[in-house]
Every structure is written in C-alpha cells, then in structure tokens.
Chain A
Amino acid sequence: MDLSDAEAIEASFADPSSFGLIFERHCDAVHRFAVRRVGRDAAGDIVAETFVRSFAIRARFDLTRDTALPWLYGIAANVIFEHYRRSALAARYSTYTFRRGTGGDPIAVADDRLVAVSLRDELISALGALSVEDRETLLLYALEDLSYKEIAAALGIPVGTVGSRMSRVRTQIRNRIPDLEWRVDRLGAEERGDDEPDA
C-alpha cells in the first residue's frame, strides 16, 4: 500500500530517503506552480530549492494533513520571492512578474486561442497592480485549486483573511476591467461556437 504524504514524511525521520516519495508525487505540480509565476527558464531551480528546503524543515509539516501539496506551495512561494530578492528584482516583483517581454515571462505559456490579446494584457496588468500577498492568494485558488483552508495553511494566515483577500482582489480586478463578465462570456461563446451574446 502506498504511504500517504504524512506517512512518508514521518518515515523520513528514520529513513531520510522516504522523502523521495514526496518529490515523485508532487514534482510536476510544483513545477507548474513555478512556471506560472517565474517562467520556464527559472522554474527548474525553484522546484529543486523547494524540495531541498521542504526536506530540511519537514519536522514542521503538520502530520494530520492529508496532502503535502499546499505546504509545498507555501514553501515554493517563499522561494520564488527570495529568488527575486536575490536577483535584485524585489522592487519590480510586485508589478513586473506578469508583464509581457520580461525574461522568463509566464505570459509565454498563456493560451492565445482562448483569451483575446487585449483582455489578457488587461488581466496581466491588473494582476501586476496587486500586492504579492493578494495575488498569491488569488492564484492559489484559481490556478492551483486549493480551498480557502488549504491556502490559509500554505500562506500561514487565518482562513478568514483568505476570504477577505479574495473579496478585495476580485473587486480590485473588476474595477480595472469593468466589463470582465461580458468579455469572459464572449470568449466562452467563441470557444463553443455560439453567436455573440448580448452586451
């Protein structure tokens, strides 16, 4: 029978190689997490550092949790932030990460078929205007499919704070893209081959 994440981590205290199971199980997900934030070129180092660091601090993992993935996301988020600080890009991180044309820009992995260029650029601009904490909260929910409870565990904040951040972030983005609902609906209609919906 396969060990659960918690069982593998617990076993790694006596046999450190047991932590390899955590890597094999979650490497792909952590890699996608990193690519979406720092681009393909830098993602490899982020993934490696995330697993080395999580191994070093595995005693802090809450063994009552079913999966280690939210915990790994939290560590990866810290590694990414430090990556930018190490690169003397800290001042730019809050506004540049998702902009077009920067090195290792994750926009390269956006799907042009589905998202009109103008709306995509507006969304990226709106994300860039958010604080690091607010943006990470939103992306953990929308892209990594974490629950509010899991986001709270990953970021080390109360669940209530996740809820208030999500509400604030959505409002901020809608203020910058006021017709977001209609345009998303329109994109969905194009994908389905429907006629243009009413404005």
Chain B
Amino acid sequence: MNQTPDPLDDLLRWTFAYQEGPTPDERDRARRRLDAAIRREVAANQRRGWMTAAVVAVVVASTAAIWGSLSPSPVMAAMEEVAQAIEAAPIPVTGQEYVFTDATESALGVVPRDGLGRIDYPDQPLAYLLNTRRQSWFGTDGSLQLRTTVQPPEFFRPEDEAAYYAAGLDQVDRVGEIILETFPDAERHPWPTDPAQLDTWIRNAAVTGRGLDSDIEYLEVALDIVSESPAAPDLRSGTLRLIGRLDGIEVVDQTHGTKTFRVQYRLNEVHIDHRFSINSSGYLVAERVTAVDGDQTLGLPAGATTYEMTVADLQITDSLDFP
C-alpha cells in the first residue's frame, strides 16, 4: 500500500484550509436535535419497562394456572391460527419489488425541566404526544426508503402546549416537515427461520443491558420482527409461534381477522394497559399503551394514551413511488 506524501494532498489542504468549528448557535441546534432523539429512545425504553412489569405481573399471576393445563393457551392457539394462515397464503415479493407500509404513530415525549430553558413552567417534566406518519418502502435487497411526516403534537394540558412552543421544541421535533431518507442496508438482522435458532437469536437480541426481564425484552424483539418490515412469511409464522409460547399475554378480541392481545400491570402506582393487534397476514398492525388511572408526575389524566400506532395493510409495489 502506498501512502507516501503527495504535493496534491498539500494543495488540497491549502485550498480547503478551513479550520473553524461551528458557532455556539450551530452547535446548540445540532445538540438539541440529538438530545431530542435521545429523549425519544428513553421514552421508548420507559414504555418497554412498563411492558416488562406488565408481563411479569401477569406471568406471576397466571403461571400456576397455565402450567396446570395440558391444552394450548388461547394465545398459543390464536398465534398458531395466524401462523398457519400465513403459510397457506404467503405474500410473494420478487427481487425488483418493494413492501410498502403506511403507519401513523403517536408517541409520548418527555422533556426534563432543565431542557426547557428559561420559560415559565413548573419544576416538572413536560409530556406530550408527538404524532408522525411513517411511509416505508422495503427492498428485497435490505434497502429502505422512509418518508416521515411530522404532524402537530398533542398536549394533555394547555400550559404544556404553551411551554412546548415557547421552548422551541417544535423546531427540535421538526414539526410540519416531511423527511425523506434512504438507507441502503436497513435490514436489521438476517433472522434464521429454524424455530430453535430463531428462539436463540431473539433471546440474544433481547439482551440490551437495560436491566429488564429477558422474557419481556423477548416479546419486544419478537414484535419488532412482525411490525413494519419485509420479514418473510416463514419468519413471521415462526415468530408468532414463539410469542404464543410466552406466558402472561391474553387474547381480548379475535373478530374481523385481526387478533388483539393485552398485558396489564401496575408500575410506580400507574396502572398500564398495553394492547397489540396481529392481522391475518401476521403483521403487527396496531399497538396502544394506556395509563389507566393517569400519571400525576407527568400530568397525564386517567385513560391517557401514551403510545399508539396503526399500520395500514401492506402493499407490494415495483417502484419507490406511492402505490
């Protein structure tokens, strides 16, 4: 390998001798964007934490009853029914096609008080719901085109809305913008389809160091596989069967071809209800987390939804345009 000095390199360095850093304002804007992304992940982790406690609570309560039964649990039977339907009528995707999904999401954002700057607001975090529409084109080569429309947020109290805009958080969240991104290698994992291997891979992926119960992390990873993704039919059916083996989940609705499941629990005096729905093609099509009795520390009223996501039926398209 030749890395000897070259006069051309000197010429380039002279020509582009720019050495200044960003201005304080430029640096601050960039840091606020990163901090917003960090806050969103913390909120998502918190949501997973709620789910953890939920499933643990239900597992403890129901373990004896389930172990005492020799027949499949209702969840196991429901997941098996969907898995068989997937295998009976797989949706084929060829090399030049894309899986298009269209999702709307409302996610809880929590901003610490010191992140609001010098505005008139109580000494407590600000909570709001950030609404986005996410349209995705998944290529069979692992590529992803993502079009995110950031819609106006929703607030639980008028003072939260005033504080949000006074602190300029709408600019941080890029409210009103349409963000088009492409990721050449977005495919998350080359998941195996052998049930034992898949089980091992999910368990390995579920170890994130957040200190959560591994079974709950397991459920989160499994739901990710069957959410907006190009997961092949055999991967989806296998994943659903593994979810069906988890304790602590109950079936709440099986009408209209879509099955809805629920976990419930109390965490830090907050009663949480988490529901997710799987359609007959094996895709996660809806999710909702509710603080049943509210959360005083965040100003959430009883019945406040802290996360909600719905996905329209996927479509197969041969271009990166709208189907």
Residues of A within 8 A of B (CB): 13-14, 16-17, 19-20, 23, 27-28, 31-32, 35-36, 43-44, 47-49, 51-52, 55-56, 82, 85-86, 106, 109-111, 114-115, 119-120, 123-124, 138-139, 141-143, 147-148, 159-160, 163, 166-167, 170, 173-174, 180-181, 184-185, 187-188
Contact = CB atoms under 8 A, between A and B. Distances in A.
A86 B180 contact: yes
Interface string B1-22: 1110011111111111111111
B118 interface: no
Given A123-B11, A148-B1, A148-B3, A32 B20 contact: yes
Interface in B33-47: 33-35, 37-38, 41-42, 45
B29 interface: yes
Contact of B42 (A16, A124, A138): A16
Nearest to B31: A23
B127 to A, nearest CB: 18
B7 A185 contact: yes
A20 B1 contact: no
Contact of B38 (A13, A20, A111): A20
Given A16-B38, A110-B16, 18 more contacts: A13-B208, A14-B210, A19-B38, A20-B31, A27-B22, A27-B27, A27-B30, A31-B21, A32-B19, A44-B30, A48-B34, A51-B34, A110-B18, A111-B15, A143-B16, A147-B3, A180-B7, A181-B7
A16 B48 CA distance: 15
A56 B16 CA distance: 31
A90 to B, nearest CB: 11
Interface of B: 1-3, 6-22, 26-27, 29-31, 33-35, 37-38, 41-42, 45, 180-182, 208-211
A187 B29 CA distance: 39
B7 A143 contact: no
A36 B18 contact: yes
A188 B10 CA distance: 10
Nearest to A173: B8
Contact of B181 (A20, A47, A82, A187): A82
A32 B18 contact: yes
A184 B11 contact: yes
A51 B18 contact: no
Contacts of B27: 27, 31
Contacts of A49: 33
Nearest to B25: A44
Contacts of A109: 16-18
A174 B35 contact: no
